Amino acid sequence: MKRPRRCAVPPPATAQQRPTRRRTADEVMLLLFETPSGFAVFNFFATLIEQPNALEKIWTDFTKIEKAKKVVWLRQFQTIQDSSSAINQRTGVNASLTEMIMKYHCPGQRMAVGEPGYKKIIEERLKITCVYDPTVTELVWGIQIRMRQLVPREKSYLNEYLLFPMSQGLQNILSRYDCNYVNRDMLNERILIMAYALFECDSFENEKTGDLHHAASVIKDVSGIDTDAWGLLKIATAVKKIWCPEEASNSCEFSEHEVSRLFNDADKYEVKLDKDACLKVSRQMIAVFHFRNDKKILLKKYVAQALDAYEAE
């Protein structure tokens, strides 16, 4: 079969997605996505599945359709009467699907596929390097939950056999907050948004942990206070007691001696710490702590409601 002419790497479909320079085939990947009534070809940036924390993060890009459209963009969709005949080990890839794939494939470009069998067949028959791994599974899951908007021509409901399991990254955050019994049939928009809010809180905490632990070590050195067992909230509150005691709450226990030492040593801390930066991080951490507590309560409420509805069905 004559292979269709290979194209240049296409830019994303919208102005928000359009790169400021021409992307190489190695940076922009294809994705072959199977729908209930056919196949779609998407583009996405390879960094989406190659970033160090991809398995933890990919699902967050699909919490809102506006975000999803910035990380994947549809190139073409075609209906196929019998998807089992479109790709199989005996006949390979049929003519219409081959034409669609090759229309958007560039020399050296990799393609993500949602089935391990598709990887083997496409690599053998079309000589295209394919990627199938847990990160691709996460990406396919994200497109599935936003399929109505990302593939608007697809009108059919997803068949059970096409549904991927719950996103691993999403399941991790739900388990972290004792909601590990949520299954894909219980998942709804409210649970997704609350889980994302908690993910962002955890990400901020992880990002700023080093800064606050450094502040704690300086407190120990300057004021002689044992900070080894302090949590991030207590460290952040201590920083406020140094420079803005009127703002500091009493939610964390400090002895009168500790409060006195922190306040009296304020001038010494300005030599070793960036006052404005420390106060900024401390205020943010305290706000995140209270925000996360509120979202934890809402998540458990929404999960309980979803569980009741699921069991009632």
Domain containing residue 97: CATH number: 3.30.420
Decide if 213 is inside a domain.
Answer: yes
Share of the chain above pLDDT 70, in %: 89
Q: Classify burial at 138, counting beta carbons within 10 Å of its beta carbon; exposed 0-12, middle 13-18, buried 19 or more.
A: buried
- Would you place residue 242 in the very low, low, confident or very high pLDDT band (cuts 50, 70, 90)? very high
pLDDT over 70 at 269, yes or no: yes
What pLDDT is recorded for position 250? 85
Q: How many CB atoms within 10 Å of residue 169?
A: 23
C-alpha distances out from residue 114 to 33, 187, 245, Å = 7, 21, 56
pLDDT over 90 at 166, yes or no: no
**Structural domain span for residue 259:** 189-312
What pLDDT is recorded for position 85? 85
Decide if 142 is inside a domain.
Answer: yes
Do residues 33 and 160 both lie within one domain? yes
Do residues 195 and 89 both lie within one domain? no
**Into how many domains does the chain fold?**
2
Measured over the CA atoms of residue 85, residue 88, residue 89 and residue 94, the dihedral's sign is positive
Decide if 11 is inside a domain.
Answer: no
Decide if 271 is inside a domain.
Answer: yes
pLDDT over 90 at 308, yes or no: yes
What pLDDT is recorded for position 15? 40
Decide if 85 is inside a domain.
Answer: yes
pLDDT over 50 at 190, yes or no: yes
Do residues 148 and 239 both lie within one domain? no
Do residues 157 and 265 both lie within one domain? no
What pLDDT is recorded for position 155? 80
What pLDDT is recorded for position 251? 83
CA distance 236 to 281: 8
Measured over the CA atoms of residue 38, residue 43, residue 49 and residue 55, the dihedral's sign is negative
pLDDT average, residue stretch 114-137? 97
pLDDT over 80 at 279, yes or no: yes
* H helix or E strand, kind and range, residue 211: helix 189-223
What pLDDT is recorded for position 76? 98
Q: What are phi and psi of 22, to 5 degrees?
A: -70, 130
What pLDDT is recorded for position 159? 52
Cα–Cα–Cα angle for 48, 208, 269, rounded to 5 degrees: 155
Do residues 38 and 110 both lie within one domain? yes
Decide if 8 is inside a domain.
Answer: no
pLDDT over 80 at 75, yes or no: yes
Task: Give the tens place of pLDDT for each residue, 107-117.
Answer: 999 999 999 99
Do residues 196 and 153 both lie within one domain? no
Length of the chain in terms of residues written? 313
Considering the chain, what is the average pLDDT of its residues? 90
Q: Which of 46, 41, 193, 40 is nearest to 109 (CA)?
A: 46
Q: Are strands 38-45 and 72-79 parallel, antiparallel or unpaired?
A: antiparallel
Do residues 106 and 214 both lie within one domain? no
- Would you place residue 21 in the very low, low, confident or very high pLDDT band (cuts 50, 70, 90)? low
What pLDDT is recorded for position 25? 65
Do residues 245 and 135 both lie within one domain? no
pLDDT over 90 at 255, yes or no: yes
Domain end point (choices 129, 164, 199): 164
Decide if 6 is inside a domain.
Answer: no
Do residues 121 and 194 both lie within one domain? no
pTM: 0.86
Decide if 120 is inside a domain.
Answer: yes
**How far is Cα of residue 67 from the mean position of the Cα atoms in its chain?**
10
- Would you place residue 12 in the very low, low, confident or very high pLDDT band (cuts 50, 70, 90)? low
Q: Which of 161, 22, 164, 43 is nearest to 103 (CA)?
A: 43
